[in-house]
Amino acid sequence: MRSTAPKDPMHTHYDAQVNALQGGRFKDPFSFLGVHSYKSSYEIRVFLPAAQSVSISINDKKIAAKRYNNSDLFIACVTEAPCAPYMCEATYSDSTLCFFDEYSFESSLDKDAMYLFNEGSLEHAYKHLGAHFVSQQGIEGVRFCVWAPNAASVSVIGEFNFWQANRHFMRFHPASGVWELFIAELKADTCYKFSIVTQSGEVLEKADPFAFKMQQAPGTASVLQQTTPAIKLSDSALKNRQKRNHIDAPVSIYEVHLGSWQRAEGNRYLSYNELADKLIAYTLEMGFTHIQLMPISEYPFDGSWGYQPVGLFAPSSRFGDYASFKYFIEQCHKANLGVLLDWVPGHFPSDPHGLHHFDGTHLFEHADVRQGFHPDWNTYIYNYDRPEVKSFLISNAMYWLEQFGLDGLRVDAVASMLYLDYSRKEGEWVANCYGGRENLGAIECLKQVNLRSYKNNPGIMMVAEESTAWPGVTQSVEHNGLGFGYKWNMGWMNDSLHYMQHDPLYRQHHHHEMTFSMVYAFSENYILPLSHDEVVHGKGSLIEKMPGDEWQKFANLRSYYAFMWAHPGKKLLFMGSEIAQRKEWDHNHSIDWHLLEHKSHTGIQNTVQALNNIYKTHPALYELDSSPAGFEWIDNNNNEQSIFSFVRYAKNAHDFVVVIANFTPVSYRNYELGVPSAGKYKVILNTDEDSFFGSGVEVTANAQGVISAKKRNAHGFAHTINISIGGLTTIYLQRVEDE
């Protein structure tokens, strides 16, 4: 029971502090708690809610502390100030606890780093802010740091203090707007948050923006995570990364949503460790060079697929812990399999424990709804003009690239960042300082992310999902570009899918949809994407987009894939599309692997596997993806037959592949085609083969699949070949011998 002794008139001036502490609102706890001189001696003041008695241990000597009036403030008088952190022993109704007084530790905040953070150039803010296991003055514990410059008070709350906001008040650093506190002897996997009192008196409970681990829904807390050193890539691994991501390398990306690629019994998620065994092996078997993970930065709602993250520094614990994710990435490295991660710097959700209205003000987002809110996604937009927000995003990109040694980031929704009027009507947006619609802050932020990412991580690839004609997306920053390495070719994707959905009878009227991409094919470094966006929201799966009867659907898809793999640009295919998934993608269920019981679906899988293997072993199909020297039309005007023919060249111009794509069900015998030179031509791919579930139309007159070119002018070439081509078929030919 608390003492009911009358107030000590010597300490009546503490009443205001006690009331503030009791109410959980104290901005400068170190000015009052801990050791302070008092008259000719010292007082040690501790505030411990619900404690019955408290003693202080200094040099193996216990000093009893007296309760201040009827409050939770305890004061011990000492003649000399302790020169090191001291222990407190607090007795409660059901227990006795011993702990180091948080207010006996010095600040360990790096002022130089905070200067860079406030300047907008701190590349490794995640090493300074957030919760870190550190040793302070010889004591092991956790240092908490959070940026909340406009808060009236901030406390650390968690399982260790029964979520009491009046127990662990943080130290405020006015120069940086950062709050800091060291708490000794905390353990990993302990939940915590920040209790923030706004200037208006509202109390907010926020997750840590820099947390390395977070609870799964319905939990909203951050979780203390003991991190390990960054993955150190060997010299050979660095060389492999640079080689596989280079502009003249074969890049074939398998886009994966980890939660629905495959499920375990009972519809359970596979863990990172299980995925390391199964997903990597399958991706290699299929011949892909890279895996692209849809966002795994922690997100509360499964249906957002990760595109509305609240924990930008936390690999989702749906699939395991931090160490398990690291193991998955390391296994990819061992397999020489590139790993790209979807990165979402364009917006964040409105979850109350997230970044929105973080310290009672629009800290991370623009205050003006015309700049700070996405009407399409019901999300908030980062204030890219704010230096600290820029440091936050730059350091997040560095975190994924440097801590895990990733091959790169695919930046989501870049167009929404670049344009102030993105998806807005007249009067619903605010022009920049020059009266234009360009988001100057976002442009500069993207440039800085790309510059620093490439400088600090040689050999990576930064990829933009940019759906407009913004110039210079893959130009260097020095040449006034955005500095990306690659850009998704959304125009090719839209046009070609639109073409394929037409009945072959009418394709002749839409011929330009398959040829127009070559008008701009070399203006950027492109990736051709058939991503998850094309198989959701009522769009249907790729196989169901194809017209015709059952056989024609599969023949269309095989021919289309082969056309895509031959078209200039790197490749990306969403999971399930390689087996002709029938249903739209559903994030709640596995891919329908049972479809592989049918030859038609196995045929699509075999086609994709063959395409990847041919692609990787024929430099003509990838070396000059971004150069006009790598492509030449043979005939781009045959709209009546809907046949497209072209040549892909390697850097060695004598090494080339001839491509013929027939997008009608009509088969042709002795089809005459101009070719670049004399010699013999061998069929290296025919999507109409029996092994692909094709009709098996013989392409050549001999079993070896070889055709001799004749001296005859056709299509602007001095030599021709005659070939049979099946309906809805794409064929690759390689010259194998000079005559």
Model confidence pLDDT, tens digit, residues 352-380: 999 999 999 999 999 999 999 998 899 99
Q: pLDDT (tens digit, 9 = 90+) per residue, 161-177?
A: 999 999 999 999 999 99
Cis peptide before 6 (omega within 30 of 0): no
The answer to whether the beta carbons of residues 191 and 205 sit under 8 Å apart is no
| Helix (H), strand (E) at residue 369 | helix 369-372
Tokens of 566: 């031959």
Pairs from 632-641 (Cβ < 8 Å, separation ≥ 24): 632/676, 633/515, 633/518, 634/658, 634/673, 634/674, 634/675, 634/715, 634/717, 635/673, 635/674, 635/715, 636/515, 636/518, 637/511, 639/507, 639/508, 639/509, 639/511, 640/508, 641/508, 641/666, 641/668
Nearest-angstrom CA–CA distance, 659 and 293 = 31
pLDDT at res. 346: 96
Give residue 526's pLDDT band: very low, low, confident or very high (50, 70, 90): very high
Q: Which residues sit opposite 46 in a β-bridge?
A: 74
What's the mean pLDDT in 3-27?
72
Confirm if 305 and 271 have CB atoms less than 8 A apart: no
Q: What is the mean pLDDT of the chain?
A: 95
91: which strand partners? 53, 96
Given a contact cutoff of 8 angstroms between Cβ atoms, the answer to whether 130 and 210 are in contact is: yes
Provide the pairing of β-strand 41-47 with 73-78.
Answer: antiparallel
Taking alpha carbons only, the member of 383, 352, 347, 346 closest to residue 365 is 383
Percent of the chain having pLDDT more than 90? 93
Angstrom distance (rounded) from CA 537 to CA 518: 29
Work out the average pLDDT over 201-211.
Answer: 98
Domains of the chain in start order, with CATH, are 9-104 (2.60.40.10), 111-223 (2.60.40.10), 627-737 (2.60.40.1180)
Selected catalytic residue, list 43, 180, 465, 524: 465
Rounded to an integer, the average pLDDT of 13-19 is 91
Between CA 166 and CA 156 the distance in angstroms is: 9
Across residues 580-607, what is the average pLDDT? 97
pLDDT, residue 244, reads 96
- Please say whether the dihedral angle defined by the alpha carbons of residues 719, 723, 729 and 735, taken in this order, is positive or negative: negative
Query: Rounded to whole angstroms, how far apart are CA atoms 242 and 254?
Result: 19
Which helix (H) or strand (E) segment holds residue 372: the answer is: helix 369-372
List Cα–Cα distances, 571 to 250, 253, 486, 547, 625, in angstroms: 9, 6, 11, 23, 11
Helix 111-119 to helix 387-398 angle (10° resolution) is: 110
**pLDDT tens-digit readout, 672-724:** 999 999 999 999 999 999 999 999 888 886 777 899 999 999 999 999 999 99
- The predicted pLDDT at position 3 comes to 36
What sign does the dihedral 569-575-581-585 (CA atoms) show?
negative
55-59, 222-226, 557-561: range with lowest mean pLDDT: 55-59
pLDDT at 582 over 80: yes
Examine the residue annotation and report whether 321 is marked as an active-site residue of this protein: no
Cβ proximity of 353 and 207 under 8 Å? yes
Which pLDDT score, from 0 to 100, does residue 7 have?
Answer: 46
Q: How many other β-carbons are positioned within 10 Å of the β-carbon of residue 374?
A: 17
Whether pLDDT at 1 is above 50: no
Which ranges in 286-363 belong to alpha helices (H)?
A: 322-334
CA distance 158 to 83: 29
Cα maximum dimension of the chain: 115
Whether residue 10 is predicted with pLDDT greater than 50 in this model: the reply is: no
pTM, whole model, 2 decimals? 0.95
Active site residue 202: no
DSSP class of 112: H
3-state DSSP call for residue 11? helix
Helices (H), 521-656: 542-545, 550-566, 599-617
Residues 524-546: what's their mean pLDDT? 96
pLDDT of amino acid 738: 64
CA–CA separation, 249 and 266 (whole Å): 41
Q: What does the pLDDT look like over 460-509, one tens digit per residue?
A: 999 999 999 999 999 999 999 999 999 999 999 999 999 999 999 999 99
CA distances from 383 to 304, 346, 390 (A): 22, 10, 8
- DSSP letter assigned to residue 38: E
Q: Which of 412, 495, 513, 534 is catalytic?
A: 412
Tokens standing for residue 214 = 């977070």
Residues 578/543, Cβ–Cβ less than 8 Å: no
According to the per-residue pLDDT averaged within each range, which of 1-5, 82-86, 511-515, 698-702 is highest? 511-515
Residue with tokens 């840590």: 208
pLDDT tens for each residue of 601-656: 999 999 999 999 999 999 999 999 999 999 999 999 999 999 999 999 999 989 99
State the pLDDT at residue 71: 93
Q: What is the pLDDT of residues 89-107, one digit of tens each?
A: 999 999 999 999 999 999 9
Q: Work out the pLDDT band at 12, boundaries 50, 70, 90.
A: low
